[in-house]
Amino acid sequence: MRWSLMRRTRPDLEKMAGAFADAEIRSGLRPGGRAALAYHRDRGDHILIASAGVDLIVGPIAERLKVDGVVCTQMAWKADRLEDRFASENCYGDAKRAAVTSYLIANNLTGPTVFYTDSRADFALLPIMDQTIVVDPKAKTRADAQNLSLPIQHWAKSEGGFEPAPQMTKS
């Protein structure tokens, strides 16, 4: 992706990214994702998107979803033109765990934490999360989640498929 966008101007790329974000929110956000966002907003929870995706794409999506924060891979710019490198480490696996940990500390967020993922690479975050819920996993991720006794939800269902984590419900 980077090589095809390299040396394009930031305003051009931000316009493209905004159009992509609009389309993704309109047709790519699963019904269960919408339900989870609404549930956590209604509770007043702090909502963070942690993604290996790049800030150019993740930022506009997060802005449109009105989430509280974003941790993602940062693109490098020079004189308002995209460079052929990242400005940060790729926010994946252990690097994502470190970035999320830093975010939680910097924002004085102490839990409980619930993490939704569709990727087994995100299992690196298990040690810092109170609850991890696996969403619409592919076969290998599903098998790993089952071996770890992690709950699995199916957000792609038209009726939603979202269920609050047990410790997140109010008694």
pLDDT in tens, 12-56: 999 999 999 999 999 888 888 999 999 999 999 999 999 999 999
Token representation of residue 136: 């619409």
C-alpha 23 chain-centroid distance: 17
pLDDT of amino acid 168: 58
- Top-tier CATH class for 2-161: alpha beta
Q: Is the dihedral of CA 59, 50, 93, 149 positive or negative?
A: negative
Q: What mean pLDDT do residues 106-116 have?
A: 90
Side-chain-side CA neighbours of 80 within 13 Å: the count stands at 5
Token representation of residue 93: 């696996």
Pairing state between β 81-86 and 75-78: antiparallel
Domain ranges of the chain: 2-161
Q: What mean pLDDT do residues 72-82 have?
A: 90
**Rounded mean pLDDT of the chain?**
89
pLDDT of amino acid 28: 85
Instruction: Give 24's DSSP letter.
Output: I
Run of H or E including 79: none
Highest mean pLDDT among 31-35, 84-88, 146-150: 146-150
Task: Tell me the percentage of the chain whose pLDDT exceeds 90.
Answer: 68
Asked if 103 and 69 touch (Cβ cutoff 8 Å), the reply is yes
Q: What mean pLDDT do residues 157-165 have?
A: 73
Q: What is each CA distance from 72 to 44, 49, 89, in whole angstroms? A: 23, 8, 9
pLDDT of amino acid 50: 96
CA dihedral defined by 130, 140, 95, 98, rounded to 10 degrees? 10
Q: Is the dihedral of CA 62, 121, 27, 19 positive or negative?
A: positive
Asked if 146 and 130 touch (Cβ cutoff 8 Å), the reply is no
- Decide if pLDDT at 2 tops 80: no
